[in-house]
Chain A
Protein backbone atom coordinates (compact mmCIF):
# COMPACT_ATOMS: atom_id res chain seq x y z
CA UNK A 1 0.00 0.00 0.00
CA UNK A 2 1.33 3.40 -0.93
CA UNK A 3 2.25 5.26 2.19
CA UNK A 4 2.71 8.72 0.75
CA UNK A 5 0.32 10.00 -1.89
CA UNK A 6 0.70 13.15 -3.91
CA UNK A 7 -2.31 13.33 -6.18
CA UNK A 8 -1.27 16.36 -8.25
CA UNK A 9 1.29 15.39 -10.90
CA UNK A 10 1.48 19.00 -12.06
CA UNK A 11 0.33 22.40 -10.84
CA UNK A 12 0.37 25.90 -12.26
CA UNK A 13 0.32 29.08 -10.19
CA UNK A 14 0.54 32.73 -11.08
CA UNK A 15 3.55 34.59 -9.74
CA UNK A 16 2.89 36.24 -6.34
CA UNK A 17 -0.11 33.99 -5.64
CA UNK A 18 -0.23 31.27 -2.99
CA UNK A 19 -0.36 27.58 -3.89
CA UNK A 20 -1.10 24.41 -1.93
CA UNK A 21 0.53 21.10 -2.78
CA UNK A 22 -1.32 18.10 -1.42
CA UNK A 23 0.16 15.18 0.50
CA UNK A 24 -1.62 12.38 2.31
CA UNK A 25 0.08 9.64 4.25
CA UNK A 26 -0.71 6.31 5.81
CA UNK A 27 0.88 4.95 8.94
CA UNK A 28 -0.16 3.15 12.09
CA UNK A 29 2.90 4.34 13.98
CA UNK A 30 2.08 7.08 16.50
CA UNK A 31 5.51 8.63 16.03
CA UNK A 32 6.45 9.87 12.60
CA UNK A 33 7.83 12.86 10.79
CA UNK A 34 6.81 14.56 7.58
CA UNK A 35 9.19 16.39 5.28
CA UNK A 36 8.94 18.42 2.11
CA UNK A 37 11.80 18.63 -0.36
CA UNK A 38 12.21 20.73 -3.49
CA UNK A 39 13.99 19.38 -6.54
CA UNK A 40 14.75 22.02 -9.17
CA UNK A 41 15.65 21.09 -12.72
CA UNK A 42 19.31 20.96 -11.70
CA UNK A 43 18.46 17.82 -9.74
CA UNK A 44 19.53 18.48 -6.18
CA UNK A 45 17.21 17.79 -3.25
CA UNK A 46 16.59 20.82 -1.06
CA UNK A 47 14.97 20.47 2.36
CA UNK A 48 12.07 22.87 2.90
CA UNK A 49 10.13 22.04 6.03
CA UNK A 50 9.55 19.41 8.71
CA UNK A 51 6.52 18.48 10.86
CA UNK A 52 6.65 15.98 13.70
CA UNK A 53 3.61 13.90 14.57
CA UNK A 54 3.53 15.29 18.09
CA UNK A 55 4.00 18.91 17.10
CA UNK A 56 1.00 20.95 18.18
CA UNK A 57 1.51 23.79 15.75
CA UNK A 58 1.89 23.79 12.00
CA UNK A 59 5.48 24.21 10.87
CA UNK A 60 6.51 27.37 9.05
CA UNK A 61 9.75 28.31 7.31
CA UNK A 62 9.67 31.67 5.60
CA UNK A 63 7.23 31.47 2.68
CA UNK A 64 6.63 27.76 3.33
CA UNK A 65 4.09 26.42 5.76
CA UNK A 66 2.80 22.95 6.36
CA UNK A 67 -0.94 22.48 6.86
CA UNK A 68 -0.90 19.44 9.14
CA UNK A 69 -4.26 17.74 9.65
CA UNK A 70 -3.47 14.67 11.71
CA UNK A 71 -6.94 13.14 11.76
CA UNK A 72 -7.14 13.35 8.00
CA UNK A 73 -3.52 12.20 7.63
CA UNK A 74 -2.65 15.10 5.39
CA UNK A 75 0.41 17.34 5.33
CA UNK A 76 -0.09 19.89 2.59
CA UNK A 77 2.64 22.36 1.68
CA UNK A 78 1.57 25.96 1.26
CA UNK A 79 3.84 28.34 -0.63
CA UNK A 80 2.89 31.96 -0.24
CA UNK A 81 3.73 34.70 -2.75
CA UNK A 82 5.05 32.32 -5.41
CA UNK A 83 8.23 33.26 -7.23
CA UNK A 84 9.54 32.13 -10.60
CA UNK A 85 12.32 30.31 -8.76
CA UNK A 86 9.74 28.12 -7.05
CA UNK A 87 9.20 26.22 -10.29
CA UNK A 88 10.42 22.73 -9.44
CA UNK A 89 9.37 19.24 -8.43
CA UNK A 90 8.18 18.98 -4.83
CA UNK A 91 8.31 15.78 -2.83
CA UNK A 92 6.53 14.90 0.36
CA UNK A 93 8.28 12.29 2.52
CA UNK A 94 7.57 10.46 5.76
CA UNK A 95 9.78 8.95 8.42
CA UNK A 96 8.08 6.26 10.47
CA UNK A 97 8.97 5.35 14.00
CA UNK A 98 11.60 6.69 16.32
CA UNK A 99 14.99 7.80 15.13
CA UNK A 100 16.81 4.71 16.29
CA UNK A 101 15.13 2.80 13.51
CA UNK A 102 17.30 4.57 11.03
CA UNK A 103 15.28 7.57 9.96
CA UNK A 104 14.35 6.00 6.64
CA UNK A 105 12.29 8.26 4.42
CA UNK A 106 9.42 7.14 2.21
CA UNK A 107 8.79 9.53 -0.67
CA UNK A 108 5.72 10.39 -2.67
CA UNK A 109 5.83 10.60 -6.44
CA UNK A 110 6.11 14.35 -6.48
CA UNK A 111 4.23 17.37 -7.81
CA UNK A 112 5.72 19.50 -10.54
CA UNK A 113 4.99 23.16 -9.86
CA UNK A 114 5.22 25.74 -12.61
CA UNK A 115 5.06 29.42 -11.72
CA UNK A 116 3.78 31.66 -14.49
CA UNK A 117 4.92 35.30 -14.79
Chain B
Protein backbone atom coordinates (compact mmCIF):
# COMPACT_ATOMS: atom_id res chain seq x y z
CA UNK B 1 0.00 0.00 0.00
CA UNK B 2 1.96 3.00 -1.29
CA UNK B 3 -0.53 5.66 -0.17
CA UNK B 4 -0.24 8.87 -2.17
CA UNK B 5 2.59 9.04 -4.67
CA UNK B 6 3.75 12.07 -6.63
CA UNK B 7 6.11 12.44 -9.55
CA UNK B 8 8.46 14.06 -10.19
CA UNK B 9 10.10 14.93 -6.87
CA UNK B 10 11.94 17.93 -8.31
CA UNK B 11 11.62 19.89 -11.52
CA UNK B 12 13.06 23.08 -12.99
CA UNK B 13 11.03 24.78 -15.71
CA UNK B 14 11.74 27.74 -17.90
CA UNK B 15 9.21 30.55 -18.08
CA UNK B 16 6.47 29.66 -20.54
CA UNK B 17 7.02 25.91 -20.44
CA UNK B 18 4.26 23.51 -19.44
CA UNK B 19 4.26 20.35 -17.39
CA UNK B 20 2.04 17.88 -15.61
CA UNK B 21 2.50 16.88 -11.99
CA UNK B 22 1.32 13.34 -11.42
CA UNK B 23 -0.56 12.13 -8.36
CA UNK B 24 -1.78 8.60 -7.69
CA UNK B 25 -3.40 7.08 -4.62
CA UNK B 26 -4.08 3.41 -3.99
CA UNK B 27 -6.40 3.78 -1.00
CA UNK B 28 -9.62 3.97 -3.05
CA UNK B 29 -10.22 7.47 -1.75
CA UNK B 30 -12.99 9.51 -3.32
CA UNK B 31 -11.58 12.93 -2.54
CA UNK B 32 -8.31 14.28 -3.91
CA UNK B 33 -6.66 17.67 -3.55
CA UNK B 34 -3.79 19.74 -4.85
CA UNK B 35 -2.11 22.28 -2.57
CA UNK B 36 0.86 24.55 -3.01
CA UNK B 37 3.19 25.65 -0.26
CA UNK B 38 5.24 28.79 -0.75
CA UNK B 39 8.37 29.30 1.38
CA UNK B 40 7.55 29.95 5.03
CA UNK B 41 3.83 29.65 4.45
CA UNK B 42 1.02 27.22 5.00
CA UNK B 43 -0.61 25.25 2.22
CA UNK B 44 -3.16 26.75 -0.13
CA UNK B 45 -5.69 24.72 -2.07
CA UNK B 46 -5.42 24.85 -5.86
CA UNK B 47 -8.04 22.34 -7.02
CA UNK B 48 -9.93 19.44 -5.56
CA UNK B 49 -12.06 16.54 -6.75
CA UNK B 50 -14.85 14.68 -5.00
CA UNK B 51 -14.83 11.79 -7.45
CA UNK B 52 -13.93 10.72 -10.97
CA UNK B 53 -15.12 13.31 -13.46
CA UNK B 54 -15.79 15.99 -10.83
CA UNK B 55 -13.35 18.79 -10.08
CA UNK B 56 -13.63 22.25 -8.60
CA UNK B 57 -11.46 25.27 -7.94
CA UNK B 58 -9.81 26.02 -4.65
CA UNK B 59 -8.29 29.22 -3.36
CA UNK B 60 -5.51 29.69 -5.96
CA UNK B 61 -6.52 27.99 -9.25
CA UNK B 62 -5.16 30.49 -11.78
CA UNK B 63 -2.51 29.05 -14.06
CA UNK B 64 -3.46 25.44 -13.36
CA UNK B 65 -5.78 22.79 -14.72
CA UNK B 66 -6.81 19.39 -13.44
CA UNK B 67 -8.67 16.33 -14.60
CA UNK B 68 -9.92 13.24 -12.81
CA UNK B 69 -10.65 10.40 -15.20
CA UNK B 70 -10.08 7.63 -12.63
CA UNK B 71 -10.43 7.29 -8.87
CA UNK B 72 -6.69 6.75 -8.50
CA UNK B 73 -5.19 9.60 -10.54
CA UNK B 74 -5.43 13.36 -10.21
CA UNK B 75 -2.86 15.13 -12.42
CA UNK B 76 -2.18 18.85 -12.15
CA UNK B 77 -1.30 20.69 -15.34
CA UNK B 78 0.74 23.90 -15.37
CA UNK B 79 0.36 25.90 -18.55
CA UNK B 80 2.81 28.69 -19.40
CA UNK B 81 4.86 28.44 -16.23
CA UNK B 82 5.64 31.68 -14.39
CA UNK B 83 8.15 32.42 -11.58
CA UNK B 84 5.18 32.92 -9.23
CA UNK B 85 4.48 29.20 -9.58
CA UNK B 86 7.76 28.31 -7.91
CA UNK B 87 6.54 26.32 -4.94
CA UNK B 88 6.22 22.90 -3.38
CA UNK B 89 3.14 21.07 -4.61
CA UNK B 90 1.35 18.53 -2.46
CA UNK B 91 -1.31 16.11 -3.52
CA UNK B 92 -3.63 14.69 -0.85
CA UNK B 93 -6.54 12.31 -0.65
CA UNK B 94 -9.26 11.33 1.78
CA UNK B 95 -12.08 8.78 1.79
CA UNK B 96 -14.71 11.41 2.44
CA UNK B 97 -14.56 15.17 2.87
CA UNK B 98 -15.66 15.32 6.46
CA UNK B 99 -13.85 13.85 9.43
CA UNK B 100 -11.55 11.68 7.38
CA UNK B 101 -7.92 12.58 7.50
CA UNK B 102 -6.29 13.89 4.37
CA UNK B 103 -3.20 11.86 3.53
CA UNK B 104 -0.47 13.76 1.75
CA UNK B 105 2.03 12.74 -0.87
CA UNK B 106 5.73 13.59 -0.47
CA UNK B 107 5.49 16.73 -2.58
CA UNK B 108 7.01 18.05 -5.80
CA UNK B 109 9.47 20.93 -5.57
CA UNK B 110 9.06 23.10 -8.67
CA UNK B 111 11.30 25.99 -9.66
CA UNK B 112 10.44 28.27 -12.57
CA UNK B 113 13.35 30.31 -13.92
Interface residues of A (CB under 8 A from B): 4, 33, 35, 37, 43-45, 47, 50, 52, 91, 93, 95, 98-110
Instruction: Provide the bound-state CA to CA distance between A63 and B13, in Å.
Output: 42
Q: Is the CB of A50 within 8 A of B101?
A: yes
Assess A43 versus B42: contact at CB under 8 Å? Given A35-B101, A99-B99, A105-B102: no
Residues in B neighbouring A103, C-beta threshold 8 A: 31, 33, 48, 94, 96-98, 100, 102
Indicate whether B103 reaches chain A with its CB closer than 8 angstroms: yes
Q: Give 27 A-B contacts (CB < 8 Å), ordered by A residue.
A: A35-B101, A44-B106, A45-B43, A45-B90, A45-B92, A47-B103, A91-B42, A95-B98, A98-B97, A99-B96, A99-B100, A102-B31, A102-B50, A103-B48, A103-B94, A103-B96, A103-B98, A103-B102, A104-B45, A105-B33, A105-B43, A106-B45, A107-B35, A107-B43, A109-B41, A110-B41, A110-B42
Interface residues on chain B, size class = 20 to 34
Return B88 CB to nearest CB of chain A, in Å: 7
Residues in A neighbouring B109, C-beta threshold 8 A: 43
- Across the interface, name the chain B residue whose C-beta is closest to A112: B40
Residues in A neighbouring B44, C-beta threshold 8 A: 107
